[in-house]
């Protein structure tokens, strides 16, 4: 039976996501993300620093998974702890990393070759992470699911991805390349703003996925790993 699709309004989804960052569990997840970003900026570029960076990056991915799970649930008013535990139980870390890297490689290539190409790629791939986490899909399945789910709403998904995910993640490295790291306060402010916007983007894209008929998150204690048959 075909699931009825809701009409997506990018502005409304983005505004709602930004407001929800001030509420639990997203506020707690946001504060943890900001803390990890602060620690990441302070580490040194030696072997120990590299190991610490990898660990912090892994923790950031788990927080992103927890955010997707919380945003996909009608019970998102609960605390952050159940969702963080659920993120570990979901056992989708490696697949989430691969999908995220693939998305940014494709979008980056699209931007390099033709700016609008990167935006189009984001519109097609923007729902891949929610599909992977919420529906326990494989990498290829999640990418295909994202492309299929976005049919007819590509513009709205593209706007959310461009403004809340792509822009902050492009602005930070460009600013650092331009010498912003010589101004620690400005660097911290820009990095924190990027974290806030990116997390809001994760929430907005996840809710877009649910609105388009994606599978919602069960209760936190019911989140399980993907079946091997999938």
| DSSP designation for 161 | I
If we measure between CA atoms, which residue out of 133, 35, 126 comes closest to residue 93?
133
End-to-end CA distance of the chain: 21
Q: Which residues contact 2 (CB under 8 A, 6 or more apart)?
A: none
| pLDDT score at 68 | 96
| pLDDT score at 1 | 38
Q: Phi/psi at 4 (nearest 5 deg)?
A: -70, 135
Rounded-to-integer distance, Cα 81 and Cα 69, Å: 12
| pLDDT score at 44 | 57
Q: How far is CA 21 from its chain centroid?
A: 14
Rounded-to-integer distance, Cα 33 and Cα 16, Å: 19
Q: How far is CA 49 from its chain centroid?
A: 25
Residue 104 token pair = 């940014």
DSSP letters for 47-103 = HHHHHHHHHHHHHHHHHHHHHHHHHT-TTTTS-HHHHHHHHHHHT-HHHHHHHHHHH
| pLDDT score at 38 | 86
- Segments of the chain scoring below 50 in pLDDT: 1-3, 230
| pLDDT score at 54 | 86
Per residue in 15-25, pLDDT (tens digit) is 999 999 999 89
Element spanning 169, H or E: helix 167-177
| pLDDT score at 159 | 93
């Amino acid at each position: 039976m075909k699931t009825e699709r809701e009409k997506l309004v990018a502005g409304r989804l983005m505004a709602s996501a930004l407001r929800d960052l001030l509420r639990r569990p997203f506020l707690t997840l946001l504060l943890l993300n900001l803390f990890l970003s602060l620690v990441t900026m302070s580490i040194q570029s030696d072997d120990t620093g590299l190991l610490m960076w990898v660990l912090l990056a892994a923790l950031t991915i788990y927080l992103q998974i927890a955010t997707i799970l919380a945003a996909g649930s009608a019970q998102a008013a609960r605390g952050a702890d159940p969702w963080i535990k659920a993120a570990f139980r979901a056992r989708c870390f490696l697949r989430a990393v691969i999908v995220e890297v693939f998305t940014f490689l494709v979008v980056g290539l699209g931007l390099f070759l033709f700016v609008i190409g990167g935006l189009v790629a984001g519109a097609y791939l923007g729902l891949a992470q929610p599909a992977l986490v919420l529906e326990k899909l494989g990498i290829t399945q999640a990418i295909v699911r994202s492309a299929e789910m976005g049919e007819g709403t590509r513009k709205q998904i593209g706007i959310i991805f461009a403004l809340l995910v792509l822009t902050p993640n492009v602005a930070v490295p460009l600013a650092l390349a331009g010498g912003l790291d010589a101004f620690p306060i400005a660097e911290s402010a820009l990095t924190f703003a990027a974290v806030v916007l990116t997390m809001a983007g994760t929430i907005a894209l996840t809710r877009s996925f649910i609105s388009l008929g994606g599978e919602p998150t069960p209760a936190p204690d019911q989140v399980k790993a993907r079946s091997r048959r999938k």
